[in-house]
Structure 1
Amino acid sequence: MANILITGASSGIGARAAGILAARGHRVHGAARSTGAISRIEGVIPVALDLTDESSIRDAAAAASTTGPIDVLINCAGYGEFGSVEETSLADARAQLEVNVLGAVGLIQAVLPSMRQAGRGRIVNVSSLAGEFAAPLGGWYHASKFALEALSDSLRGEVARFGIDVTLVQPSYVATDWHDTAMEHLDHASANGPYASMAAAMRRYFSSPSLAKQMSSPADVAELIVRAALTAHPRTRYRIGPGAGLAVALSTILPDRAFDALTRKQFGYA
């Protein structure tokens, strides 16, 4: 039985992954800013966590360690700060990096000493295909995922000799309310002004029935996270979503400006 700490466990993918892990007999600590929903997931121990607060991060790691050293950390929490680079405030950009990058790294720093001492451990960082290539109006979200990917790669090389594995899960589009939140941020930053037509095109794209058909289910992504957390010999990256592998391949094979044009066409930008 593994002692597991998973963030973003109050809803969506994180809640489903926490429930699956608990149902399989593991001791699961589900962390989020609000713990009411977590307390209703059978077998999951709620842990309060504010990823923008260093003391809260330390307290959450300590709380999850009361039942033994943390064997697996799953960084699943995150959101999308959408809007043009020009119009997104630096305060909103900092908040994006605090939650999606620095908060995750804070938890990693908190659990690594006990993992090193035990000579084993697993860190699963839930990234995105957005960490492989970037599109207009998602710059700060892409930046956060690019950073998480780079940090995971560096960390993997640093901790392998201590028996600790680091792996990434990279979903494409998933049928959750994540997109609604991202579009709220988009409207706040860029619904008016010089990028308004691009913002309108992006909203149309994310509300289109054709995109809905391409989305992975939260259950499928949760199962993949569980696999990344528990398999004996994990891959460095797990991708999920129709065409995920092709999208990454095109981003590396095509010249940059050709990929830019393909992206603009995909989102319907003029």
Structure 2
Amino acid sequence: MKKIAVVTGASSGIGYQTALDFAAQGYTVVGGARHLKNADELVKAGVVFHPLDVTDHDSVQDFVQFIKSTYGRVDVLVNAAGYGSFGALEEVPLDEARRQLDVNLFGIVDLIQQVTPIMRTQHSGRIINISSLAGQSYSALAGWYYISKHALETMSDVLRLELKPFGIDVVIVEPGITKTNWANVTNEQMLKVTPKTSPYRKAAEKQASMITQATQTVAQVASVIAKAATADKPKIRYQVTRQDKIAMKGARLMPYKVLDKVAERMLKV
């Protein structure tokens, strides 16, 4: 019997490549996303596409009910849906902050709450949450994004302990800046909430130039996700490049004042 892999955010970027790779590796893949972009390509590759808005509880229920009634099981859940909301904490509207947490945290938790009973019945399953290097670090002008990823990682750590007795693994994957449209969407939003008269504008423009400098491809990230999905004893956290692994080890060891200096230097204008 083919294993069932569920991938959110499957219409673009990391989720799209992951869905294609899992299908090529012999999984039955259900890809969920709000947008129909690339749906035809997914279907041609053998991916079953189903609409999903992780911020809509009814949509999440419908998505999981479709999987449950069609396949009756879930072996791997990859939560790749998400976006970056950048800007100074002083200036980002709280409605936008709530939306960032809805997409990057609460929507994921909603889906997990619906899928977990299926995995518990099987006494098996693997949940892979796509975080970021931001999940273990911090920087100015990206507050709500960093907050969402720190919260996602803490949630994942707690969930791992709670689900271990039921044979379910919880894994975190932390990509760096990846070559997708993510940076363009993030920059558009950041410069929108940071007017040219803002005291943060020059630093925001520097931030915008930095996050377009990708250090990895979606193929590299999807390869690490596949490794996390198939390892007999998966790691708790995966980074993609050697440089990222060193950076995360350093972030855990450095004093906070040193981390502050590093972060300040990055956006100094």
Q: TM-score, normalised by structure 2?
A: 0.94
CA distance, structure 2, for counterparts of residue 64 and residue 231 of structure 1: 24
Q: Does 1:180 align with 2:178?
A: no
Q: Is the 8 A contact 1:3 1:68 kept in 2?
A: no
Q: Which residue of 1 aligns with 2:201?
A: 196
- Identify the match of residue 57 of structure 2 among 54, 58, 73: 54
C-alpha RMSD of the superposition: 1.3
CA distance, structure 2, for counterparts of residue 25 and residue 254 of structure 1: 43
Q: Which residue of 2 aligns with 1:39?
A: 40
Q: Which amino acid in 2 is paired with 1:190? A: T
1:36 to partner: Cα distance: 4.6
The 5 Å alignment of 1:155-234 reads 155-192=159-196, 193-207=198-212, 211-212=213-214, 215-234=215-234
The 5 Å alignment of 1:1-270 reads 1-41=2-42, 42-65=45-68, 66-192=70-196, 193-207=198-212, 211-212=213-214, 215-267=215-267, 269-270=268-269
Gaps of 5+ in 1: none
CA distance, structure 1, for counterparts of residue 110 and residue 163 of structure 2: 16
Question: Cα deviation per residue 1:198-245 (whole Å; 9 max; x = unaligned)?
Answer: 1122123234xxx34xx1111010111112122222111111135212
CA distance, structure 2, for counterparts of residue 204 and residue 105 of structure 1: 32
CA distance, structure 1, for counterparts of residue 30 and residue 240 of structure 2: 25
Gaps of 5+ in 2: none
Q: Which amino acid in 1 is paired with 2:160? A: R
1:7 to partner: Cα distance: 0.3
Q: What secondary structure does 2:78 align onto? A: strand
Q: Is the 8 A contact 2:12 2:37 kept in 1?
A: no
More divergent stretch after superposition (67-76 vs 250-259):
250-259
1:38–1:85 distance in 2 versus 1, CA, 3 Å: same
Q: Which amino acid in 2 is paired with 1:169? A: V
1:242–1:175 distance in 2 versus 1, CA, 3 Å: farther
Q: Is the 8 A contact 2:177 2:211 kept in 1?
A: no
1:182–1:107 distance in 2 versus 1, CA, 3 Å: same
CA distance, structure 1, for counterparts of residue 204 and residue 27 of structure 2: 43
1:206–1:36 distance in 2 versus 1, CA, 3 Å: closer
Q: What secondary structure does 1:176 align onto? A: coil
Question: Cα deviation per residue 1:36-86 (whole Å; 9 max; x = unaligned)?
Answer: 512322110011011111111111111122222111111001100000001
Question: Cα deviation per residue 1:234-269 (whole Å; 9 max; x = unaligned)?
Answer: 1111111352122223323322222112122123x2
User: Aligned residue pairs: how many?
Assistant: 264
Q: Is the 8 A contact 1:79 1:100 kept in 2?
A: yes
Q: Is the 8 A contact 1:39 1:45 kept in 2?
A: no
Q: Is the 8 A contact 1:15 1:38 kept in 2?
A: no
CA distance, structure 2, for counterparts of residue 97 and residue 72 of structure 1: 23
Q: What secondary structure does 1:165 align onto? A: strand
CA distance, structure 2, for counterparts of residue 171 and residue 252 of structure 1: 17
Identity of aligned residues (%): 39
1:246–1:36 distance in 2 versus 1, CA, 3 Å: closer
1:13 to partner: Cα distance: 1.2
Q: Which amino acid in 2 is paired with 1:81? A: S
Q: Is the 8 A contact 1:31 1:46 kept in 2?
A: yes
Q: TM-score, normalised by structure 1?
A: 0.94
